[in-house]
Amino acid sequence: MQHQPISLSPDLKHLRDEGYEIEIIGGYVCIHHIPYVNAEKEVKLGKLITDLTLDTPTLAGKPKHHTVYFVGEQPCHLTGEPMEEIINSNPNTALTDKITGNYYLSSKPAGGNYENYYDKFTRYITLITVAARSLDPTATARTYQPMDDEDEDGVFQYYDTNSSRANILQLNAKFKTQKIGIIGLGGTGSYTLDFTAKTCVTEIHLFDGDELKVHNAFRMPGAASSDDLQAVVKKVDYFAAKYSKLHKGIKPHVVYVTEETKYLLAGLSFVFICVDKNSVRNAIIQILLAMNIPFIDVGMGVRVIGGQLTGMTRTTTGTPEKNDHLANRIATEDTDENDYATNVQIAELNAFNAVSAVIKWKKMVGFYQDLRHEFHSTYSINVAEIINEDTKA
């Protein structure tokens, strides 16, 4: 799958067929083995890299801009003077967890942009290698060496070109070692899956023993058809089929998490608890604490007052190091004093609760900056107020 954008895109295939060491790395196109001259008038080898634009999951489109990154020392003329006519800046931008763009190059064509990647790369290769070829006539970027695809074991079914365009692939790498679990695939749990499936975690394990029902359709992302609802399918199987089209690591478990099934949680890095019964969530919390698995528990309380809905959403985090606040924040007894179960058209609250949980998790991973380190957060609907509490010293 990962080689298809090269094979099916005429301009990328043209580069490969002419012997250039072309590789797709995440959402970038990279040409290796670019001979250049450094400030000491030595011939070195660098790389050219630019973000990949896709018209379809397997077909490259027109480059979005005319610039490229250069990986290596400062490219110079035969005299050792910098190629200032094409060097825009020296940003040392981390493009992936393994590649840093040392120099940002700009050579704009007459039309303002290149029509394809072949024209773009060969233009820069010509400009950079001319000095190297003067010193070493055998220096060439056309090696005809096959390239191993570093992304062939990637978790996505197609490339994440948005992350490469925003230069955050190196941040996404923070998720690569994570195996997460989502317990409960109702409204908030299904939105949590929707958001986490766009991250490059290794695996996402889904736990729920219930079947997909009509009321679920009004609380979850996307649109379930009548056929979907009449098929009597388990929630985890339905969502696994949907999201496996994007992420390869979706693992459904048609079970409720109990002492008998807790072995399925072994090896998980993090768990989202998205259940609606206090007694159940408390039992799950005790299991996770005993297994030293960090988690976020979400909750929602909604009431009808004066013909309008009010209430709050809650996001509570627990870790092996910080859990002394849980008893004061999460009720252990079930209650009927909640109109949530009868007010199905509140998907936005489910989504908001999931957003709060996923943002907090991403802070804990190190993707987002966290200056507060709160372990308990509530959002009150009627006053639009977010309160963060139980901060870690």
Contact predicate 117/11, CB 8 Å? yes
Q: Write out the two tokens for 75.
A: 């490219």
pLDDT at 294: 98
Cβ-contact 120, 132 below 8 angstroms: no
- Residue given tokens 């109109």 in the structure block: 339
Using pLDDT thresholds of 50, 70 and 90, give the confidence band for residue 60. Answer: confident
- Length of the chain in residues, anyone? 393
Instruction: Summarize pLDDT for 101-150 with one digit per residue, the tens.
Output: 999 999 999 989 999 999 999 999 999 999 999 999 999 999 988 765 44
Whether 367 contacts 175, CB under 8 Å: yes
Query: Taking all residues of the chain, what is their mean pLDDT, rounded to a whole number?
Result: 90
pLDDT digits (tens, 9 = 90+) for 380-390: 999 999 999 99
Is 320's pLDDT higher than 80? Answer: yes
Please give the angle made by the CA atoms of 62, 66 and 68, to the nearest 5 degrees.
110
Q: Where do the DSSP E strands lie in 274-373?
A: 295-305, 308-318
pLDDT in the model for residue 363: 97
Task: DSSP letter for 60, please.
Answer: E
Picking from 1-10, 62-71, 270-279, 316-325, which range would have the lowest pLDDT averaged per residue?
1-10
Local confidence band at 203 (pLDDT 50, 70, 90 cut-offs): very high
Confidence of residue 54 (pLDDT cuts 50, 70, 90): confident
**How many other C-beta atoms are found inside a 10 Å radius of the C-beta of residue 193?**
27
**Using CA atoms, how far apart are residues 270 and 170, in angstroms rounded to an integer?**
21
- pLDDT tens track for 7-22: 778 899 899 889 999 9
In tens, the pLDDT along 235-248 reads: 999 999 999 999 99
pLDDT confidence of residue 341? 62
Determine the Cα–Cα distance for residues 216 and 227; give it in Å rounded to an integer. 14
Alpha-carbon dihedral angle through residues 179, 191, 153, 94, given to the nearest 10 degrees: -90
Among candidate residues 312, 345, 309, the one with its CA nearest the CA of residue 215: 345
The answer to whether 172 and 252 are in contact (CB under 8 A) is: no
Beta-bridged to residue 25, according to DSSP, are 28
Per-residue confidence (pLDDT) for residue 153, from 0 to 100: 58
Tokens of 205: 């394990």
pLDDT digits (tens, 9 = 90+) for 349-378: 999 999 999 999 999 999 999 999 999 999
